[in-house]
Amino acid sequence: MITKINLAEKFGKLDEHWSPRVVGELDGAYLAKIAKLKGTFTWHKHDDEDEMFLVIEGQLIMELEDQKLTLNSGEMVVVPAGVMHNPIADEECHVLVFEKKSTAHSGSKTIDATKSLDEQLRPI
């Protein structure tokens, strides 16, 4: 059965920062992961996958090796495969992330905040 997804409702049920949860799939990719971000994640990269961040609410700073982008609600950035990046949210920020199923949460790095695919697939 096809169902609609209410993002505001889903964000309201998230109680952890840096813990993405899958809310939809498309053509073998996790179409959408939502996450609440606050603080600094870690410098990392995904060797084989692009990653897209769409800010739904708040502000996200995306540090890249040679620049820093500030994204506000309604703005997005695509981080190409192999590019080192570090997401930062000074205040709580809600993001929709688009990436392939093979994308590891923190790239090849494992940190305390790293979430496994099973954790990301938990129902909200």
pLDDT at 34: 92
Contact 107, 50 (CB under 8 A): no
Residue 103 has pLDDT above 70, yes or no: no
Residue 105 has pLDDT above 70, yes or no: no
> What domains, with CATH codes, occur in the chain?
7-120 (2.60.120.10)
Mean pLDDT of 57-70: 97
- pTM of the predicted protein model: 0.83
pLDDT at 123: 75
Helix (H) or strand (E) holding 82: none
Share of the chain above pLDDT 70, in %: 82
Query: Angle 38-41-47 (CA atoms, 0-180°, nearest 5)?
Result: 140
d(CA 105, CA 114): 6
Residue 76 banded pLDDT, cuts 50, 70, 90: very high
Which residues on adjacent β-strands are paired with residue 64? 67, 85
Residue 120 has pLDDT above 80, yes or no: no
Through-space distance between the first and last CA atoms of the chain, rounded to whole angstroms: 18
Closest CA to 115 of 42, 9, 53: 42
Residue 107 banded pLDDT, cuts 50, 70, 90: low
Share of the chain above pLDDT 90, in %: 55
